[in-house]
Amino acid sequence: MSQPSSSAEQYDGQSGRSRYRPQEIEPKWQRFWLDHKTFKVEVDLQKPKYYILDMFPYPSGTGLHVGHPEGYTATDIIARYKRMRGFNVLHPMGWDAFGLPAEQYAIETGTHPRDTTARNIGTFRRQIQSLGFSYDWDREISTCNPDYYRWTQWIFLKLYERGLAYMAEVPVNWCPVLGTVLSNEEVIDGKSERGGHEVIRKPMLQWMLRITNYAERLLAGLDQIDWPDSVKEMQRNWIGRSEGARIRFHLCTPEGARFSEGDAFFDVFTTRPDTLFGATYCVLAPEHPLVDRVTTAAQRDAVEAYRQEAARKSDLARTDLVKEKTGVDTGGYVLNPATGTPIPIWVADYVLITYGTGAIMAVPSGDQRDWEFARRFDLPIIEVVKGGDIGKEAYVGEGPHVNSGFLDRLNVADAKKKMTAWLKEHGHGEGTVTYKLRDWLFSRQRYWGEPFPVIHVDGQPYPLSANDLPLVLPEVESFRPTGTGEPPLAAVREWVETVAPGTGKPALRETNTMPQWAGSCWYFLRFVDANNAERPWDTDKERYWMPVDLYVGGVEHAVLHLLYSRFWHHVLYDCGLVSTPEPFQRLVNQGMILGFSYRYYEDAAGNCYSFHQVQKIVQDGAEEPTYVLAARPDVALTVRYAPVEQVRWKDEKPYHPEEAELELEPQQDKMSKSRGNVVNPDAVVAEYGADALRCYEMFMGPLEQVKPWNTRSVAGVSRFLARVWSLLIGDTGEVRPQVSDEPADRQAHLTRQYHKKIKKVSEDLDGMRFNTALSALMEFVNEAQKAERLPRALAEGLVLALAPFAPHLAEELWQRLGHADTLAYAPWPTYDPELVKDETLTVAVQVNGKLRATIEIAAEADQAATLAAARGHEKVQLHLEGKTVRREVVIPGKLVNFVVT
RNA sequence: GCCGGGAUGGCGGAAUAGGCAGACGCAGUGGACUCAAAAUCCACCGCCCCGCAAAGGCGUGCGAGUUCGACUCUCGCUCCCGGCACCA
């Protein structure tokens, strides 16, 4: 590998001085890395592998913001570090390219989503490459490419074969304005996540994936992986396992005579079967199929009215935060299997049709919701566990059972066991487990997604053969949904109408497409063998590279993407197609980068006010506060933002760009266009360079932490890089004479510092503590600047240690130091443990726990010598004078404490 | 309401097997270089008391506790951020 020349381009003709010029060296090295495919990898059984992955970006039209490079820089640093440590590093990048925004843009402008997406990918790629990330670009993939989605369809067929994909008529979130069905995740407060349009519920025949079959394994798998506890906890909550019992209740007359029909019953799920003796009524969800059956003629109108109201309420989602329970008596009765007495059946919307069986047994003494409901409607409350005051609230704690027949005097755990056994024995029910997790609605009424490899013959779905893949998206006249709920693909008759292979019967193609999650559920597998035209991936390559050793991305994917892709991976594992059940061994979430925004307020007439004049009003239950003029609370105000680059500064305070006296209120907010606080990485690169941006993003604070962007601090990091440059390179562009070829003096202060800092940087990189690693490098550079000579070995070690953080600068310096090869695979600098130890130690001397002096002692000084030195210090003597020493605490090499009275 | 995370100078943050709080950087102040400015370099930079300094006192959200010693451990609060919200 030969390198481009480092010539006079660095030489500043005007001042005659060579300076650190990132704008010149960065494109040079980026070109070099691409031209030489420096980061291309293949399977190498001689080397340990390391698979390091960034979460798949969606290439939006707005390009990168400074949040993207945070995670990408972290992974790039680890990738470069691991290469220097001798690992074979797989570090790929690609595009989650299907998705609604390109389709929305197509509807508005007629531009094909393919073209929009290609353009956006171009922008993303250019921006990412301008930051010097060490991706293997030969593995770049895009989910909207038929060579890729062919295999997404292939995996769908695997799911179908295993009975994990099925069609069901389900009420879906239908958004008339977008003309599409949205997933629950895309609906926020009853409005579409994108655009804020109204969403209503509408039944539709949909593809579903049976993720619930894997609930138990998805839960168990969490124990095997190294993820943040908070993310594991979120997944556990999302899966929502609860253990209890299914209990059968038989319909009966008000007098308790059991109906004879075989289907005159419903099941409830309860986690507290031990409280069955306290069940004084049952509640059905409004949507429960048995509601009509149990409702008496007298109650029919009331029940029907309530059901309609409840249906409307769910359309408005949960904006109605009324805490008070509502419900209606159906007039029907069931037998309590434990007591044999009839209890009434009610309908109430606090029971959810989507959880458990959609019906509950209500135990007002043991469940606060049931208690509130019973109080409201004057239903009986019977104590079954002693210990609380059921006149005031439900008691959920531990205690002996009472009023419970054969359970009396038992504790909760034993009573649960005994009741569960009793239920089974008498045919009233059995122990069971329920999950909150629902099956995954996998259809979208959109154009820009993977077509399902399915045809319908006589109303029955049939999968295509794997040989017929990819089933390519046809061209359409219009991207607009048909408006009836039928997807755009339904309009392409010549594509939709086909014949069944074999029988030749007329058939219709499936016109739904897959959701965006589909492509991102397995992309990490395609990366191991991205260009394989025969198979989705080669199993030997999969076995070598998988699992992903380090996966970095935003916490917003904590549940959905990470749960869905784990689900697919478990299925592929069961198919024998992958070698590990879990795809991502270690997960790290980077914290969001906030931007400073500058607020002021405006009234309806267009008058502007500073935050000093404004009062904030937070109403109970309201999500957003409202603002009024402090002097005139009847004047409602709207929040406005001054764009960050237009803010004027006066005496350290921000002011409005036009209104001279209008002081702005600085706030840290999530970056967004509307707040005018978005920082574009292109601008930062243009001014300070990619290395400075990378280093700043790492220097801001711990990776996982939320932190505010401060452009002024970028300049500080940029100065550090310039100091490294001028430490090694003189005015002429040549290596400074101070960088001497004589071997480093082992005893020299600078040598010892060097070994300490290399140790610190190595350990911090292992622990992904990038901010403190950079601090250590800065400290070394500060020391080296003071020294008269810098031995070459130390200079080279510094360059290598800096390389993962500021690779362009490091490559340039490495070249000028006389190396012909890239430093990407140079061995990571080592340290000598002997030189890391201090010769003398600074020991703190305390009297009664207060610091009074510090003393320098030899590293090998024993306890007695330390104590003597401490006593000898004049300040210490001053504080010991006239006192009795009760105790002497000596922590070797650290501290001495005299306890005196 | 529940679950998870957090609170340290003017700002971002350092410091955990309990042992010198404020590393490193930003901002600020003073100085050097310069005709001047920028850049660069040097010094100072938690708060209070104080003419200055020394000496002293106070300081890691609040209140207790354990300990010779607590940013760090225990208990009880407050506030902030993220997630889920009638999950039987």
Residue A408's identity, in one-letter code, is: D
Q: Is the CB of A705 under 7 A from strand B?
A: yes
Residue A526 CA to residue A541 CA, distance in Å, equals 10
Give me the CA A770–C1' B72 separation in Å, rounded: 22
Strand order of the sheet with strand A200-209?
A: A180-182, A165-175, A200-209, A440-441
Query: Gap from A839 CA to B52 C1', in Å?
Result: 38
Radius of gyration of chain A (CA): 34
At A463, list the tokens: 């999968």
Contacts of A697 (CB under 8 A, 6+ apart): A66, A69, A70, A73, A593
Rounded, the Å distance between the CA of A179 and C1' of B74 is 58
Q: Which residue in the block uniquely carries the two structure tokens 């703190």?
A: A844
* Distance from CA(A428) to C1'(B5), angstroms, rounded: 45
Give me the mean pLDDT over the A744-763 stretch.
Answer: 90
Which nucleotides of chain B have an atom under 7 angstroms from any protein CB? 3-5, 11-15, 19-21, 23-27, 39-42, 56-57, 68-70, 81-88
Mean pLDDT for all residues in chain A: 88
Dump pLDDT digits (tens) for A811-847.
Answer: 999 999 999 999 999 999 999 998 888 777 788 888 8
Signed CA dihedral, A572, A577, A581, A585: sign only: negative
- Calpha distance A288→A285 (Å, rounded): 5
Nucleotide nearest to A234 (CA to C1'): B83
A852 Cβ within 7 A of any nucleic strand B atom: yes
What's the CA–C1' distance between A893 and B59, in Å? Answer: 26
Any atom of strand B under 7 A from CB of A465? no
Q: What is the pLDDT of residues A440-470, one digit of tens each?
A: 889 888 899 999 999 999 989 999 999 998 9
Strand B: which of residues 390-409 in chain A lie with Cβ below 7 A? none
Of the candidates A134, A104, A102, A105, the one whose C-alpha atom is nearest the C-alpha of residue A121 is A102
Q: Looking at residue A666, what is its pLDDT?
A: 76
Retrieve residue A844's tokens: 């703190």
The reply to whether A774 Cβ lies less than 7 angstroms from strand B is yes
Share of chain A above pLDDT 90, in %: 56
Query: Using 50, 70 and 90 to split pLDDT, how confident is the model at A174?
Result: confident
Give the pLDDT band of residue A17 (cuts 50, 70, 90). Answer: low
Q: Give the pLDDT confidence of A37-54 residue by residue, as tens digits.
A: 999 999 999 999 999 999
The pLDDT, as a whole number, for residue A190 is 63
Q: Residue A713 CB closer than 7 angstroms to strand B?
A: yes
Extract the tokens encoding A25.
């060296």
pLDDT digit string, tens, across residues A714-727:
999 999 999 999 99
Q: Could you report the predicted ipTM of this complex, rounded to two decimals? A: 0.94
Burial A48-86 (b: 16+ CB within 10 A, else e): ebbbbbbbbbbbeeeebbbbbbbbbbbbbbbbbbbbbee
Polymer length in residues for chain A: 901
Q: Is the CB of A773 under 7 A from strand B?
A: no
Task: Report phi then psi at A768, rounded to 5.
Answer: 55, 35
The answer to whether A55 and A553 have CB atoms below 8 angstroms apart is yes
Asked if strand B comes closer than 7 Å to A3 Cβ, the answer is: no
What pLDDT is stored for residue A12 in this prediction? 41
Task: Write down the pLDDT at residue A316.
Answer: 45
- Strand B reaches within 7 A of the A889 CB: yes
Of all residues in chain A, the percent with pLDDT exceeding 70 is 93
Q: Is the CB of A233 under 7 A from strand B?
A: yes
Could you report the per-residue pLDDT of A510-535, keeping only the tens digit for each? 999 998 899 999 999 999 999 999 99
Residue A14 confidence (pLDDT): 44
How would you classify the pairing of strands A342-347 and A281-284? parallel
Indicate whether A744 pLDDT > 90.
Answer: no
**Strand B reaches within 7 A of the A237 CB:** yes
What pLDDT is attached to residue A7? Answer: 40
Cβ of residue A666 lies below 7 Å from strand B: no
The SS3 call for residue A117 is: helix
Q: Using the CA of A273, which nucleotide's C1' is the nearest one? A: B88
CA of residue A121 to C1' of nucleotide B14, angstroms: 40
Chain A span 715-734 residues with beta carbon within 7 Å of strand B: 715-717, 719-720, 722-723
Q: What is the DSSP letter of A873?
A: S
Query: Above 60 in pLDDT, residue A1?
Result: no
Q: Distance of CA A13 to CAs A18, A731, A737, A812, Å?
A: 9, 11, 22, 20
**Hits for CB < 7 Å against strand B across A residues 546-585:** 555-556, 558-559
CB proximity A350–strand B (7 Å threshold): yes
Side-chain half-sphere exposure of A596, counting CA atoms within 13 A: 13
The sign of the dihedral angle between the CA atoms of A292, A295, A298, A300 is: negative
Q: How far apart are alpha carbons A83 and A79 in whole angstroms?
A: 6
Cα–Cα distance, A796 to A744 (Å, whole number): 12
Gap between the Cα atoms of A654 and A642, Å rounded: 10
Q: What is the pLDDT of residue A184?
A: 63
Residue A356 beta carbon within 7 A of nucleic strand B: yes
Q: Which helix (H) or strand (E) holds A142?
A: none
Nearest-angstrom CA–CA distance, A641 and A601: 8
pLDDT at A197 over 80: no
Query: Is residue A185 scored above 70 in pLDDT?
Result: no
A230 touches strand B (CB under 7 A): yes
Checking each nucleotide's C1' against the CA of A897, the nearest proves to be B68
Check whether the bond before A69 is cis (ω within 30° of 0): no
Of A896, A847, A838, nearest to A869 by C-alpha is: A896
Query: Using the CB atom, is residue A700 less than 7 Å from strand B?
Result: yes
Spacing of A18 CA from B34 C1' in Å: 20
Residue nearest to nucleotide B82 (CA to C1'): A555
- Rounded to the nearest 5 percent, the helix, strand and coil shares of chain A are 35, 25, 40
pLDDT tens sequence across A590-649: 988 888 888 888 888 888 888 778 877 766 545 566 788 878 888 888 888 888 777 777
Is nucleic acid strand B under 7 Å from A312's C-beta? no
Residue A173 has pLDDT above 60, yes or no: yes
pLDDT band at A13; cut points 50, 70, 90 = very low
Please state, in angstroms and rounded to a whole number, the distance separating the CA atoms of residues A93 and A133. Answer: 10
CA of A686 to C1' of B31 (A): 33
Asked whether the predicted pLDDT for residue A3 surpasses 80, the reply is no
* Residue A355 contacts strand B, CB under 7 A: yes
**What does the pLDDT average to over A677-699?**
93
Most confident segment among A84-98, A475-489, A675-689: A84-98
Please count the CA atoms within 13 angstroms of the CA of A869 that sit on its side-chain side.
Answer: 22
Can you give the pLDDT at residue A843? 85
Does strand B come within 7 Å of the CB of A366?
A: no
Residue A15: is its pLDDT beyond 50? no
Tokens standing for residue A66: 């400074």
Concatenated DSSP letters for A88-100?
EEE----B----H
A747 contact partners, CB below 8 Å, separation of at least 6: none
Nucleotide lying nearest to A272, CA to C1' measure: B88
The C1' atom of B35 and the CA atom of A404 lie apart, in whole Å, by 101
Judged on CB neighbours under 10 Å (0-12, 13-18, 19+), A181 is buried
User: CB of A612 under 7 A from strand B?
Assistant: no
For residue A393, give Cα distances in angstroms to A119, A383, A521: 61, 11, 46
A358 CB-to-strand B distance under 7 Å:
yes
- Asked if A213 CB < 7 A from strand B, the reply is no
- Tell me if A464 sits within 8 A of A301, measured CB to CB: no
